[in-house]
Structure formats: C-alpha cells, structure tokens
Structure 1
Amino acid sequence: MHPTPHNDTPRKLSATFTYLVGQPSDIPLENRIFNSMCLIALIVIIINIPFNYFTGLRVTATLLAVMLLLLSGLYYLSRFRNRFHFSVTIAVIAVNVMFAINYFTSCGIAGASLLSFALTFFLVMMVSPGKQYSWWLGLNLLLVLGLIGYEYYVPQSVPDIYPDRASRFMDLSVTYVISVLVIFSGTLFMKNIYTREKKRGEEKARVLEQLNEEKNKLFSIISHDLRNPLSSIQSYLELMKNIQLPQHERLQMEEELLHMVNNTQDMLLNILYWSKSQLQGLSVQLSPVNIFKTISPILHHNTTLMASKKLRLEENIDNRIQAMADINMLQLILRNLIGNAIKFTPAGGSIHISAEQQENNCLLTIRDTGKGIDVKRMAEIFSLKARSTFGTGNEKGIGLGLYLCKEYTEAQSGRIWFENNPGNGCTFFLSFPAA
C-alpha cells in the first residue's frame, strides 16, 4: 500500500527542515543551531516588516528589510559554504547595530527595543561558541546600558513616533508575544537536541564498554591459546633432545603438533583480519569469483587433517558458478566454515559441500555430521560473545571465526545462516549475488 498524502506530509516537512538546517552527520551541532535560528529569525522578520510598516514604524520596517537580506546571505554562507564562525560574528554585530539604530526610531526605552535586545542576546547565546560568551555578554550590556544612559541625559534624541496609544500597545504586545514564542521554541529545540545527544552519548559509551569487555576477553583467550601450542612444541623439542623416541611415537607426536600448529595458524589469521578491519575498516573489492576454484585450495589444505580423522568428503559444486564477491574475504569465510565442520565432526563422519545457482543468487552449503550447535548458543553464535569450544579432536578456537564470517558476508551483500540437522550435525548456508 502507498502512504496517503496526509501520512506523508510530516515526513516531507521533517526531511525539508533537515535539509535546510543540515544533516547531523555532516554539519556540527552549533552550525545547525545557527541555521535553525536564522530560519526562525527570517520568518519573524518577514512577519514584522508589514506589521511595523502599517503601524507607522516605517524606518523600523526598512531596517528589518535590510536585515532580511543580510541574514539570508549569512544563512547561505553558513549552510552551503561552511562559513559558520564568520556568519555568526557578522550576524551578531549587524543585529546589535540594527537594534541600536532602531532604538532611536521606536521610542527608545518606551518602545519594544529592549525586548528585541533581550531576544537577540538569547539567540546569540544559543549559536555562539562557548569561548565567545563573555564577549557577547559584555557587548550587549555595554550597548543597552549606553543607549539607556544616553536617552536619559539627552531625551530629545528619542522622539515619540507612535501615531497613537493603540499603536504603542500593539507594538509592545506583538514584540513580547514573538519574543516568548521564539524563546520557547529555542529552549524546546535545545532540550530536544540535548536529549538526543545524551542518548547518543550513552549508546556510544555502552557500545564502547561492550567492545572493550569483548576485546579484553578476546586478548585473554588469545594469550592463553597461543601459549598452549608453543609449550607443546617446546616440550617436544626438549623430549627429542633428551630421549630417543620410537619411530611410531615420534610420528604420532609430530602429527598432533602439526594439527595444533595448523589450528593456531588459522586462529592467528582470523585475529589478523579482525584487527585489520578494526584499525582500517572493511575494504571490499567485488568481482566475479569462481566458486570451485576458490574452494579447491581450501579443501586441499585440509586433506591431511580430514584423513587423520577418517572423514568422508562429498562435493557437489558446479565449476561454472560465479558469485560477485571479494575473493580474499570469501576464502576466509570458507576456510572458517570448513575448518569448523572438520573440527566438530567425529572420526568416521562426513562433510558435504555443495554450490548451486538459485535465480540471481549463488547458494553454498556446508553440512557435517558432528554434534550440532547447542540451542542455548544459537542466539550469539555470530557475535564476539560466543564462547570458544573444543572440537572432537580437542581443537581449540577463540570464538572469532563465525563473527568474521557474518561480518564479511554482509559486507559483500551476502547472507549467512545455519540449521541443526534432524539427525545430527549442522548445516551452514552462504548466499551471494550471482555474477
């Protein structure tokens, strides 16, 4: 169903206002506040020009018209030319000069000028950088008190130009109402911004705290799991130095050490990719990738390990299928998924790998006859919260592989999911756009 025009109007108004003020991701907060105040001031001036003109304040109406042109130019410089500080400085000076002139043409202290000065100071405080507050406060007080003092000692400098008593009351009333509405709108605007920024800050702090905890956990596991294979290699070398082992025992120990080293190498490769993505961000280079040619070296690399566990490998991969993917990322994903299938499949089990094209997607399936995934762990299997587990041959990981698989799959516009098989084992699915 298409949204009705009535429901779509608030969204269009919000999008228009965001465009006029500036996107939060592109423009700093102070700049957006200034742009908002300019828009509000322009609306107020447009309303006040005809009102002042028809109440007899022709000079004030002219000054407002000049101010309208000046503020329009400053808004353009701030919003579209990134001249925020220049625009703020010129705007504050120009507004104060205009009201100083207007003070003598709108009955001075008996008119609405003091309300205008107060409103101006409020807006200045909203848009100015914090380091300029004392300057603008001093300027406002010095200027207003100077004008009042001058009028006190030279009263003839401020003529009464209101044509009648009703015009004076109307000018003061309208100026007061506009001032209150602008202060209300500005305060509400600032409160909403403060609330949003506070929530955003709290969310960032929460995410950073969570990432820091996960990082500490990860490094703790890494330091532990790197020590184990190194200690085993050290023990083996010391044993070989002092004791002459029988041939079959030496071969058995070397085979176990080789598996341990291969597992550690895969773990270090995952850590390398993860740390690189954290420091530099993900860089994806999509191109047509032949699935059969990509997966063959990975299977060849694991031939010895599968043979040692007496695993059967069943392949059903069409060598013509191509997917749009980053070949390095895809190999990392397949290396982790196939490595997990080997790790968690007991001796004598089987692993089935297939690839087929389904309409505009390429679907890869990796199914094993292992112990499957615990239901309690399913929700966090693709996150850094996932705990490392031992394989059927005591192979150890750090829980980082599947997290990288999901992150890299989605970075290539792909999709990854899994299912526990009805009998035993688990099946992982990868879907990528076909080339």
Structure 2
Amino acid sequence: MEVQIFNATLIIIFFFNLFLMALNIYIGNYVLFGLCVFISIIVTGYLYLLRVKRAYKTAFYSASLSIYPILTYNFLHNDGINGPTFYVFLLIHLVILSIVKSKYYLLWTVLNVVFFIGLYYIGLYHENWVPINYGNKEEIFTDQSVTYTACIIGISLVAASLKYFYGIQKNRVRQQREELTKVNKSLKQTSDKKDRIITIISHDLKNPLQSIIQTLELINSGDLTEEEAKYLREELLKTTNRTYQMMENILEWSSFEIKNVAGREKKILVKELVEDTVEILKVISKQKRIQLEVNFLKNPMVYIETDRLLLIFRNLVQNAIKFTPAGGLVTVNINSSDGQLILEITDNGIGISADRLKNIFEQDIKSTYGTEQEKGTGMGLHLCFQSAHKLNGQLEVKSTEGVGSSFKLVIPTGINKPSLV
C-alpha cells in the first residue's frame, strides 16, 4: 500500500508544482520558478525509478532526503516567515508519515520540527538573510491564499488516497480470509471424509478377516478330519477371494469419495450385485451360530452407485449379526415396488433403547459392543443414513429393546432414467 500512496503523492506534487510554476511567473518570482522547474525534473526522476525501475526504496529515500533542503531554499527565497513555506511543511509531514513505517514516526517528526524551528529562528532574528520579493499586499494575499488552498487540497488528496488504498487492502485481506476459510473448510471436509473412509474400511473388512482367522485357527487345531479340513480350505479360499474383491471395490469407491466425484453407476440385477457379499456374511453369521436368511421376493434391475448400495447393505446386515445372540435369526427381504428398491433387514437381537433410537443416525463416534463383545464405533449407521440420502432414498428403523430391530431402506432403482429409456 505504501508504494501506491507514494506514487499518488508524487503525481499530486508534480501537478501541484506545475501550478506553482505558473503562479511564480505571475508574481514575477523567477528564482522560485527555476526551483519549481528543478523540482519537476527530480519528481519525474522519482516516478521513473518507482514505475519503470521498480526501485521503491531508492525513489522514496531520495525524495525524503531532498525535500527539506528544497523547502529551506524555498523559505530563504520566498519571503521567509512572511511567505507560505510553512504550509508546505504540514503537507510534506503528512505525506511522509503516510508512507514510512510507524517506528520512524518520531524521527521524521523531530526532523520536521527542527527544520521548522531553525528556519523560523532565521526568519525572525536574521531578516537580512531573507530577501523580500513581495511588491505589494496583493502578491502576499495571492501567494498565501493559493499556497494554503493548494496544501489543503493536497492534504485532502493524500487523506483520500490513504482511505482508498486502505479500503483496497481491507478488501484484499477480507478476500484472502474468505479464501483461507474455504480452504480450511475444504481441508476439514477432506479430513472428515478420510476418517469416514477409514471407519468404513475397518468396519467392512474386520468381520470377514476375523472369519478367515477363525477358520485358519480351526484348520490348524488338528481336530478336523481330512475331509472337513479340505472343505474348510475350499470355503476359506472362496471367502478370501470375495473379501479381496470387496476390498478392491471399497478402495475404488473411497478414491471417488476423497476426490468428491460421484461413484460409477452400473445397471445390474440386485441378486447379482449382492451375491458375493451375502456369501461372506453367511460365513460370518455361521461362525456366530446365527441363521441368516436372504429372500429375493423380487429381483429388480437397478441403475445405481453400486458401491454405495453395497456399503449400506454390508453395514446393516453386519450390525444385525453383531447385535443378535447365538441361535438368533437375521432376515433380509429384497423387494421392489413402483420403481423403488426395498431392502428390509430384521433381527431378533438385543434391540435399541428408546433414548438411543432418537439419535440413531447422528454422527456419534463412541464404542459399541455386540453380543459377543464385538467392538464398533457407532459410525456405521450414520454412514448408511448419509449414503441413503445421496442415493435419493430413505432409511428407517424400528426397534424394541430386548426384542429386536428392523431397518428399511427405500431407494429409486434408477432404471427409469431418461438415458436408459
């Protein structure tokens, strides 16, 4: 901002000096006219340094060091204390203070006062040092009035420049602050997404991996016949392959989420979409001695973000298994009606308390434990709820503590989109 103010000040001084040149010709003071010509030349030089060479410091310090010697010369050749030089002292001091750093205010103030007192002393006690140039009162009136008016205009212009450039600086700072706020918000959103994705990955992969570990432990125990061990190894390979495929899908979807890009939509039958996931979930439920029934009352075709739908499906069924005791039943009914996919997951588990049910879909990260002390974060249902809304669907829950829970997901199949007709 200091550079712009200094630039504006030099331009003001240049035109002000042109006016003084005309005034001095009018009153016949050719000595001061010559001084004005000299000032115009050096001001032009300062503008060249500032605007062409971009040498702000050189231009400023050169101007600052030359201004008081010029004022002294003007004082001695423009009737001393009877002339208008001291008006210019105020204008110059304001200009300098508007440009220099605040730590130099005292230095420039002292310098201004020293020059003022010194020149006033010379004009008062050494009058013979100062030639009298005014020929009559009309010249005194004209010179004093014009110079004072010009100084007032100069002060007003400097003040206006200060206010103008301050406004620009203020707007720039405000814009930078807004941009910084947007960046911070974006970073926070990215961080939140990463946290959610980590939660999803750990939530969706933990149970299949635990199932694989338990199967391996059973095989290594030596309590199985060769036929049983062979069967388990075959099932283990299938489960591992399905888990690996599921992991690849989750990671691919996570990449879309971080980049804030919509996941790829696919046209597929629901049964074909969920069959691998169902097999993994059946292994998990079997190890917990829970019966998992998946009923395809209808097998609708969908055109949808399949990874997001699978995210909801896995979380809801895994939650039902987690909170259902051994010997319990988890039922999954898949249906469709009026272009809507309807997915219902019902269990006869421990249920949800009335207080917890009120805020079941809110983001509330805290430890939760299943019927066999399976640890969770409580984030799964919140993510399901968010994903349902992103699919333009609804997720509802009914639960009675000690009886069981029922989750119902209703989302458009997307099959009637204009692009598919």
TM-score by length of 1: 0.56
Query: Are the equivalent residues in 1 in contact too, given 2:304–2:414 (CA < 8 A)?
Result: no
Q: 2:109 aligns with which of 137, 142, 148?
A: 137
Q: 1:157 aligns with which of 129, 133, 136?
A: 129
Query: Are the equivalent residues in 2 in contact too, given 1:106–1:113 (CA < 8 A)?
Result: yes
Looking at structure 2, the residues matched to 79 and 305 of structure 1 have their Cα atoms a distance apart, in angstroms, of: 71
Which residue in the other structure is 2:273 paired with?
A: 309
Query: Are the equivalent residues in 1 in contact too, given 2:84–2:144 (CA < 8 A)?
Result: yes
How much has 1:246 moved relative to structure 2? 8.2
Q: 1:74 aligns with which of 46, 58, 64?
A: 46
Q: Which amino acid aligns with 1:389?
A: S
Which residue in the other structure is 1:184 paired with?
A: 156
Looking at structure 2, the residues matched to 228 and 340 of structure 1 have their Cα atoms a distance apart, in angstroms, of: 20
Q: Say yes or no: does 1:240 pair with 2:212.
A: yes
Which residue in the other structure is 2:167 paired with?
A: 195
Query: Are the equivalent residues in 2 in contact too, given 1:259–1:305 (CA < 8 A)?
Result: no
Q: Which amino acid aligns with 1:153?
A: Y
How much has 1:235 moved relative to structure 2? 3.2
**Structure 2 counterpart SS, 1:123:** helix
Looking at structure 1, the residues matched to 340 and 48 of structure 2 have their Cα atoms a distance apart, in angstroms, of: 65
Q: 1:124 aligns with which of 82, 96, 99?
A: 96
Looking at structure 2, the residues matched to 188 and 37 of structure 1 have their Cα atoms a distance apart, in angstroms, of: 11
Which residue in the other structure is 1:259 paired with?
A: 246
Q: 2:18 aligns with which of 21, 46, 62?
A: 46
Looking at structure 1, the residues matched to 131 and 84 of structure 2 have their Cα atoms a distance apart, in angstroms, of: 14
How much has 1:135 moved relative to structure 2? 2.4
Which residue in the other structure is 1:389 paired with?
A: 387
Looking at structure 1, the residues matched to 214 and 64 of structure 2 have their Cα atoms a distance apart, in angstroms, of: 86
Alignment of structure 1 residues 283-298 onto 2, 5 Å: none
Query: Are the equivalent residues in 2 in contact too, given 1:103–1:113 (CA < 8 A)?
Result: yes
Looking at structure 1, the residues matched to 156 and 50 of structure 2 have their Cα atoms a distance apart, in angstroms, of: 24
How much has 1:270 moved relative to structure 2? 6.7
Query: Are the equivalent residues in 2 in contact too, given 1:42–1:68 (CA < 8 A)?
Result: yes
Looking at structure 1, the residues matched to 200 and 269 of structure 2 have their Cα atoms a distance apart, in angstroms, of: 19
Looking at structure 2, the residues matched to 233 and 342 of structure 1 have their Cα atoms a distance apart, in angstroms, of: 18
Matched residue count: 282
Q: Which consecutive residues of structure 1, in runs of 5 or more, have no partner in the other structure?
A: 1-28, 275-297, 311-338, 347-368, 372-386, 395-419, 428-435
Q: Which amino acid aligns with 1:176?
A: Y
Looking at structure 2, the residues matched to 306 and 70 of structure 1 have their Cα atoms a distance apart, in angstroms, of: 84
Q: Say yes or no: does 1:174 pair with 2:172.
A: no
Q: Say yes or no: does 1:146 pair with 2:144.
A: no
Query: Are the equivalent residues in 1 in contact too, given 2:81–2:124 (CA < 8 A)?
Result: no
Q: Which amino acid aligns with 2:191?
A: F
How much has 1:253 moved relative to structure 2? 7.0
Query: Are the equivalent residues in 1 in contact too, given 2:91–2:151 (CA < 8 A)?
Result: yes
The alpha-carbon distance between structure 1 residues 102 and 422, as it changes in their structure 2 partners (threshold 3 A), is: same
Deviations 1:280-335 (A, max 9, x none): xxxxxxxxxxxxxxxxxx99xx999999539xxxxxxxxxxxxxxxxxxxxxxxxx
Query: Are the equivalent residues in 2 in contact too, given 1:341–1:370 (CA < 8 A)?
Result: no
Deviations 1:345-381 (A, max 9, x none): 89xxxxxxxxxxxxxxxxxxxxxx999xxxxxxxxxx
Query: Are the equivalent residues in 2 in contact too, given 1:35–1:75 (CA < 8 A)?
Result: yes
Q: Which amino acid aligns with 1:45?
A: N
Query: Are the equivalent residues in 1 in contact too, given 2:31–2:77 (CA < 8 A)?
Result: yes
Deviations 1:380-413 (A, max 9, x none): xxxxxxx963577x9xxxxxxxxxxxxxxxxxxx
Which of 1 and 2 has greater Rg? 2
Looking at structure 1, the residues matched to 82 and 269 of structure 2 have their Cα atoms a distance apart, in angstroms, of: 95
**Structure 2 counterpart SS, 1:188:** helix
- Identity over aligned residues, as a percent? 18
Q: Say yes or no: does 1:228 pair with 2:239.
A: no
Which residue in the other structure is 1:212 paired with?
A: 184
**Structure 2 counterpart SS, 1:389:** helix
The alpha-carbon distance between structure 1 residues 426 and 75, as it changes in their structure 2 partners (threshold 3 A), is: farther
Query: Are the equivalent residues in 1 in contact too, given 2:212–2:240 (CA < 8 A)?
Result: no
Q: Say yes or no: does 1:105 pair with 2:103.
A: no
The alpha-carbon distance between structure 1 residues 426 and 136, as it changes in their structure 2 partners (threshold 3 A), is: farther
Which residue in the other structure is 1:433 paired with?
A: none
How much has 1:341 moved relative to structure 2? 5.1
The alpha-carbon distance between structure 1 residues 183 and 423, as it changes in their structure 2 partners (threshold 3 A), is: farther
The alpha-carbon distance between structure 1 residues 117 and 305, as it changes in their structure 2 partners (threshold 3 A), is: farther
Query: Are the equivalent residues in 1 in contact too, given 2:80–2:123 (CA < 8 A)?
Result: yes
Q: Which amino acid aligns with 1:267?
A: S
Deviations 1:78-124 (A, max 9, x none): 11111101111111121211111110111111110000111111111
Query: Are the equivalent residues in 1 in contact too, given 2:267–2:304 (CA < 8 A)?
Result: no
Looking at structure 1, the residues matched to 239 and 418 of structure 2 have their Cα atoms a distance apart, in angstroms, of: 30
Which residue in the other structure is 2:297 paired with?
A: none
**Structure 2 counterpart SS, 1:31:** helix
The alpha-carbon distance between structure 1 residues 62 and 270, as it changes in their structure 2 partners (threshold 3 A), is: farther
Q: Which amino acid aligns with 2:250?
A: N
The alpha-carbon distance between structure 1 residues 188 and 423, as it changes in their structure 2 partners (threshold 3 A), is: farther
TM-score by length of 2: 0.58
